[in-house]
Amino acid sequence: MDKISLNELQFYGYHGLFPEERKLGQRFHVDLELFLDLKQAGQSDKMEDSIHYGEVYQLVRSIVEGEPKNLIEAVAESVAEKLLQTFPLLQACRVVVVKPNPPIDGQYRSVAVEIYRENQR
């Protein structure tokens, strides 16, 4: 299946279980894979036959920078649900939400969750 990838979208949000996460906030990165048939867009060269990347970015931004959630799992689920509701051509999506600096002891690059959801139309 064809896909559109948006890589390492960066936002500042207030998600987390700890009070300091909700007060101070932190960076979040989001990777997306949007699965849809791109043949028509490739042939027609018309935006209505694809998905507008700028609209996707703004939708994800509104969620990640919006209402705080306890878990990045809930952030990912909200992003996937809203994408599938908003873009009729979207057949499925993979959403990765990365917390580069979670408040845990130890050495690591980041923590992340990844989900895959399909449109149930």
Give yes or no: 99 in active site: yes
Query: 38, 106, 41, 117: which is closest to 76 by C-alpha?
Result: 117
How far is it, in rounded angstroms, from Cα 34 to Cα 77?
Answer: 14
Quick one: CA dihedral 79, 76, 5, 85, positive or negative? negative
* Surface-to-core class of residue 19, CB atoms within 10 Å of its CB (0-12 exposed, 13-18 middle, 19+ buried): exposed
- One of 39, 46, 69, 99 is an active-site residue; which one? 99
Per DSSP, the three-state class of 53 is: helix
Active site residues: 99
